[in-house]
Structure 1
Amino acid sequence: MIEKEYKILLSSFQYEQIKHILEFSEFREQNNYYYETELFELVNKGLTTRIRTIGDEYLFQIKNKLKNKTHGVTTKEEFEESVKEIPKVIEIEKIENIIGFKLNIDSKYAYNIGVLNTKRYICYMNDCEIALDKNEYFGNTDFELEIEFHENENQALDIIDNLNLDKSKNPVGKYKRFLLEKMKHQKEGY
């Protein structure tokens, strides 16, 4: 599946405003358990590898960045399969089998490097899925709006304009923010 979306980092004030402006039809709490090699080879290949838990459901997900952000739009190919547990280690060969190509990296394993918790409100407008997220990881909290669309990017842009948000910034995605915070904590000795 191809995923196209805008991601906009929000202040806590903007987050609360949007929570009251839009009529959200769904709320869920999810945990993303991220996996990476010791040499960060997956992220360097444009891959995000995680187990996402929503309630009792465990989803092994891999996102493959197809191209760099164009006008703020992230385009990724997404792979997903149901699993029964959160392993400590995932074999690179399993990742390659799911994505359908060899990564040509030295590592044989990706390790669970931590968890990011998201409290997500969801609604649907103009053929777009809107997710309002509060993310917590390594003692850090941030807020984000994701607008996923299929074909018509203008419908997503209209939503951004109606919410008076700045679409010109290219925010760092959840996984990279998570990695940056993890590295910061490792340097500080946590």
Structure 2
Amino acid sequence: MSQEIEIEFKNLLTEKEYMRMLEGLPFEKESFTEQTNYYFETEDMQLKENGAALRIRHKGDSWTMTLKEPHPEGLLETHDTIDERQADQWIQNRGAKQPNITKQLEAMGIDSADLRFLGSLATRRREIDYKNTTVTLDYSRYFQVQDYELEIEANSKAQGETVFEELLDRFSIPKRETKNKIRRFYEARMQSD
């Protein structure tokens, strides 16, 4: 099964903080990737009740469906690779069951036929390898919202936290309680209804 544990640290940034980090770290200024996340949930929010989230990510020529679930070390991510036609079917609420994700959903008592497309979030992402972590600067757009975010992905909590604290200190950025993208997406969606 295609699974991994995601250990990450996040902090929302102001546009000025984002620009300072973009200029102060060795990012290639004109090099970025565009990706779009398409989010799904049941009418009665069963995924949210389980602390889980489901998305399809379109990045370049690839489409990946990912289920994120709580895990003691971070988040357990379960993946299925799909194609554009399958993604389209999911967005039209006619998605076919996927081998890895369906198994995880069924363990939570969720029928994939009950999932509905909620909307999308587009991100312009810049990434660098930095002190045995991946440092990411994201600029995201969803509903009427634009936000900027620092993400540190690491193989261990200790390493990730060290780099996270160092960068916040180096760029004089206050630590902010930062919800993950899907939570921010849900809140913006509720406000737009």
Using a 3 Å threshold, how does the CA distance of structure 1 residues 38 and 13 change in structure 2: closer, same or farther? Answer: same
* Alignment coverage as a number of residue pairs: 178
Partner residue of 2:154? 149
Structure 2 Cα separation of the partners of residues 106 and 81 of structure 1: 17
Q: Which runs of 5+ in 2 are unaligned?
A: none
Partner residue of 2:107? 102
Q: Counterpart of 1:15 in 2: which secondary structure?
A: helix
Structure 2 Cα separation of the partners of residues 150 and 107 of structure 1: 31
Question: Could you tell me how far 1:132 is from its partner in structure 2?
Answer: 0.3
Give CA-to-partner distance per residue, 1:61-90, whole Å, 9 cap, x none. Answer: 1111225xxxxxx81111122101312334
Q: How does 1:26-105 map to 2 (within 5 A)?
A: 26-67=31-72, 75-85=74-84, 86=87, 87-88=90-91, 89=93, 90=95, 95-97=101-103, 99=104, 102-105=107-110
Matched, 1:21 2:20: no
Q: Which runs of 4+ in 1 moved over 3 A?
A: 90-96, 105-108
Structure 2 Cα separation of the partners of residues 123 and 182 of structure 1: 31
Q: TM-score, normalised by structure 1?
A: 0.84
8 Å CA contact 2:128–2:135 kept in 1: the answer is yes
8 Å CA contact 1:93–1:108 kept in 2: the answer is no
Question: Could you tell me how far 1:108 is from its partner in structure 2?
Answer: 4.1
8 Å CA contact 2:105–2:111 kept in 1: the answer is no
Structure 1 Cα separation of the partners of residues 8 and 20 of structure 2: 21
Q: TM-score, normalised by structure 2?
A: 0.83
More strand by share: 1
Match of 1:164 among 165, 172, 182: 172
8 Å CA contact 1:126–1:156 kept in 2: the answer is no
